[in-house]
């Protein structure tokens, strides 16, 4: 390149000769130096061009790789979000107000829940049953607890609950069990001993007992059929689950006058404002009187060969005047909730022979009272609930009419007496009512007041048990159930909601202004029979549900 420039410059100088005779002579050494400088600059510029081209290539490669990496990261984040999001149809596991497992297409889902409740109970009354010196023990005194105070910790409700759907949301199921805490306890009495037990749990302390086990299928948007073991559709006190009860427990009224669980089939209709359920089952759990069986049926977990009732129908209708159905799944109305009003009625009928053992129904009549061998039970209930958004009012009434041609007394988990200890007591009628009101004093704290009443309003020949008791020393226990006084319980309590119904602390005091007869014993609540007024029960509990 230097030679070419030199020749060009030389040519240029030649052509200009004679035009400017005054131009200075050309210095070849100076020209060579300048050419060397130009060549050096050219090499420097070429190197810079090469660097810029290389830099541009690297930038293009980096942008391409960055775009690819961004795509990979986006895919990973989207996959992670789909696994963690509670709204995605591709969920496999997570938390949605409870633990769950679900297939990617959503057709199969299992919800895993449960609860535990730790409770302290203090039960005291003024005086036990006593007899005067030298006076023979009266029949009614033989079935009483003569300890004026009983207190301690227990675990009344520890449960595992599994529910969900199969093959789509139309087919649902539930399996729930509870660890029992009722132990067969011998309470020392003045004559012999008396046995106190829970009608629902029996002598199975600490064991897992099946409570609910059913399958349901939605026939259409309004009708659903259910089969298995479930709570009979009768009263709201049993429709609402234990975790959502106002007092942390069902009341004594509900435990004695409610029907509990049974086995059978149920058809339910639900619209925007009306819900109706009808069940055909093995009958209701007979606990109108504690230990004394009028209808004698205990259908929960019974085998097919131990037929509890030859015919049994139960029904309930609910009319929602205002509010949402879900608001009535609990006994409280948090602040800010919309106004809700619901009215409900229920009815029950059953008829059957009493079973003295699992394979032999009662086929003989009691010689003392004749006996028609059949027990027929009619039951009715009505309730009203008002949710006021920070306050609630709940009222319940019950009526039961039992024609008992073969009744008996449970003692040590079996009928007491001879090989056929059944007694025809005719028609026994009982009534009960309750009224509870609650109000939130803060966003988390709720106070409540309540009263409940139970009474036998018609006893037919039940009074004659006293005569039988005098004639038969073994049957003196029967005399304790003659002509019971009305049951009256007054309640005052409060609940602190740490996280709604899932985590709460409650405390209450119950006062009994009149005596409590053995008919109304409710040991799981601390209610014990006493011949005097002024019995008190203090309860405090901590509940965790998931």
Summarize pLDDT for 448-488 with one digit per residue, the tens: 999 999 999 987 677 666 665 555 544 556 667 778 899 99
Convert the pLDDT of each residue in 255-305 to its tens digit: 999 999 999 999 999 999 999 999 999 999 999 998 788 888 889 999 988
Q: Work out the average pLDDT over 433-443.
A: 98
- Angstrom distance (rounded) from CA 191 to CA 184: 19
Residue 17: what pLDDT?
A: 42
C-alpha 8, offset from chain centre = 104
Q: Return the minimum-mean-pLDDT range out of 275-284, 336-345, 373-382.
A: 373-382
What pLDDT score was predicted for residue 157? 95
Whether 284 contacts 379, CB under 8 Å: yes
Cβ-Cβ contacts under 8 Å for 439 (sequence gap 6 or more): 390, 391, 446, 447, 448
Q: What size, in residues, is the chain? A: 546
Residues 6+ apart with CB under 8 A from 160: 113, 114, 176, 177, 208
- Quote the pLDDT of residue 349: 98
* Lowest pLDDT segment from 38-52, 202-216, 365-379, 384-398: 365-379
**Whole-number Å distance between alpha carbons of 97 and 243:** 14
Residue 285 CB partners (closer than 8 Å, separation 6+)? 199, 200, 259, 260, 261, 262, 297, 298, 299, 300
- The residue among 30 and 386 whose pLDDT is bigger is 386
Least confident interval from 70-79, 89-98, 235-244, 321-330: 70-79
Supply the pLDDT for residue 58. 55
* pLDDT tens digits for range 393-424: 999 999 999 998 878 777 655 555 555 567 77
C-beta of residue 485 within 8 angstroms of C-beta of residue 514: yes
Beta strand extents in 180-260 (DSSP E only): 185-188, 193-196, 208-218, 223-231
Reported confidence tier of residue 111, pLDDT bands at 50, 70, 90: very high
Rounded distance between C-alpha atoms, residue 477 and residue 335, angstroms = 50
Domain 108-545 CATH (choose: 1.10.240.10, 2.40.160.10, 3.90.79.10, 2.30.40.10) = 2.40.160.10
E-state strands within 254-310: 261-270, 274-281, 292-293
Please state, for a pLDDT cut of 70, what percent of the chain lies above it: 71
Task: Name the percent of the chain lying above pLDDT 90.
Answer: 52
CA separation for the pair 508, 531 (Å, rounded): 23
The confidence score (pLDDT) of residue 412 equals: 52
- What mean pLDDT comes out for the span 347-367? 63
d(CA 182, CA 2) in angstroms, rounded, equals 113
Name the strand (E) or helix (H) holding 68. helix 28-84
Q: Which of 408, 314, 311, 312 is nearest to 355 (CA)?
A: 408
d(CA 284, CA 197) in angstroms, rounded, equals 18
pLDDT at 228: 98
Is 158 strand, coil or helix?
A: strand
Distance (Å, whole) CA 108 – CA 472: 61
Q: What is the CA radius of gyration of the chain?
A: 42
SS3 475: helix
| Distance separating the N- and C-terminal Cα atoms of the chain | 89
- What CA–CA distance (Å, rounded) separates 141 from 149? 18
Please give the Cα distance from 154 to 117 (Å, whole number): 9
The pLDDT of residue 97 is 84
The whole-number pLDDT of residue 452 equals: 98
Find out whether 408 and 416 touch, Cβ atoms under 8 Å. yes
Alpha helices, DSSP H, located in 404-496: 465-471
pLDDT at 29 over 80: no
Instruction: List, for residues 37-71, the tens digit of each pLDDT value.
Output: 777 777 777 777 676 666 655 555 566 666 777 77
Beta strand spans in 338-479 (E): 340-353, 355-357, 360-361, 374-387, 391-404, 408-411, 414-415, 426-440, 445-458
Average pLDDT taken over every residue of the chain: 81
pLDDT digits (tens, 9 = 90+) for 133-191: 544 444 444 456 677 898 999 999 999 999 999 999 999 999 999 998 865 444 433 33
Q: What are the DSSP E strand ranges found in 125-183? A: 149-166, 171-179
User: Exposure pattern of 261-283 as b/e (b: 16+ CB <10 Å)?
Assistant: bbbbebbbebeeeebebbbebbb
More confident residue, 214 or 72: 214
Neighbours of 160 (CB within 10 A): 16
Please report the pLDDT score of residue 11 as a whole number: 44
Q: Measuring CA to CA, which residue among 336, 342, 489, 357 is closest to residue 419?
A: 357
Per-residue confidence (pLDDT) for residue 190, from 0 to 100: 33
């Amino acid at each position: 390149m230097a030679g070419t420039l030199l020749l060009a410059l030389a040519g240029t100088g030649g052509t200009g000769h004679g035009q400017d005779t005054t131009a200075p002579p050309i210095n070849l050494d100076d020209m060579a130096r300048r050419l060397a400088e130009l060549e050096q600059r050219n090499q420097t510029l070429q190197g810079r061009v090469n660097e810029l081209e290389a830099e541009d290539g690297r930038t293009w490669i980096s942008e391409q790789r960055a775009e690819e990496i961004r795509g990979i990261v986006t895919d990973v984040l989207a996959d992670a979000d789909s696994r963690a999001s509670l709204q995605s149809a591709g969920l496999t596991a997570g938390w949605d107000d409870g633990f769950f497992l679900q297939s990617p297409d959503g057709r199969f889902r299992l919800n895993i829940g449960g609860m535990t409740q730790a409770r302290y109970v203090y039960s005291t009354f003024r005086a036990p049953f006593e007899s005067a010196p030298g006076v023979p023990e009266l029949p009614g005194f033989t079935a009483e607890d003569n300890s004026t105070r009983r207190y301690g910790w227990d675990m009344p409700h520890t449960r595992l609950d599994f529910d969900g759907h199969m093959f789509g949301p139309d087919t649902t199921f539930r399996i729930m069990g509870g660890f029992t805490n009722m132990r067969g306890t011998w309470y020392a009495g003045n004559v012999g001993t008396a046995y106190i037990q829970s009608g629902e749990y029996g002598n199975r302390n600490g064991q897992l007992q099946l409570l609910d086990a059913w399958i349901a299928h939605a026939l259409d948007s309004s009708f659903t059929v259910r089969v298995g073991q479930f709570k009979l559709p009768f009263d709201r006190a049993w429709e609402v689950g234990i975790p959502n009860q106002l007092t942390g427990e069902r009341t004594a009224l509900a435990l004695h006058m409610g029907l509990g669980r049974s086995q059978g089939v149920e058809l339910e209709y639900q619209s925007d404002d009306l819900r109706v359920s009808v069940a055909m089952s093995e009958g209701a759990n007979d606990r109108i009187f504690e230990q004394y069986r009028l209808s004698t049926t205990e259908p929960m977990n019974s085998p097919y060969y131990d037929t509890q009732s030859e015919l049994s129908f139960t029904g309930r209708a609910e009319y929602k005047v205002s509010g949402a159905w879900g608001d009535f799944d609990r006994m409280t109305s948090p602040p800010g909730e919309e106004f809700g009003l619901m009215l409900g009625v229920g009815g029950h009928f059953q008829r059957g022979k009493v079973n003295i053992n699992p394979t032999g129904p009662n086929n003989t009549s009691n010689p003392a009272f004749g006996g028609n061998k059949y027990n027929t039970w009619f039951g009715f209930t009505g309730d009203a609930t008002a949710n006021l958004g920070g306050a609630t009012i709940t009222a319940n009434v019950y009526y039961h009419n039992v024609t008992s041609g073969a009744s008996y007394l449970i003692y040590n988990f079996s009928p007491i007496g001879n090989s056929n200890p059944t007694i025809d007591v005719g028609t026994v009628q009982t009534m009960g009512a309750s009224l509870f009101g609650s109000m939130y004093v803060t966003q988390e704290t709720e106070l409540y007041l309540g009263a409940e009443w139970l009474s036998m309003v018609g006893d037919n020949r039940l009074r004659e048990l006293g005569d039988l008791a005098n004639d038969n020393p073994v049957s003196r226990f029967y005399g304790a159930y003659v002509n019971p006084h009305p049951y009256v319980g007054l309640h005052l309590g409060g609940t602190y909601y740490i996280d709604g119904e899932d985590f709460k602390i409650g405390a209450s005091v119950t006062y009994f202004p009149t005596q409590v007869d053995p008919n109304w014993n409710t040991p799981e609540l601390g209610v014990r029979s006493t011949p005097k007024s002024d019995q008190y029960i203090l309860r405090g509990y901590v509940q965790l549900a998931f």
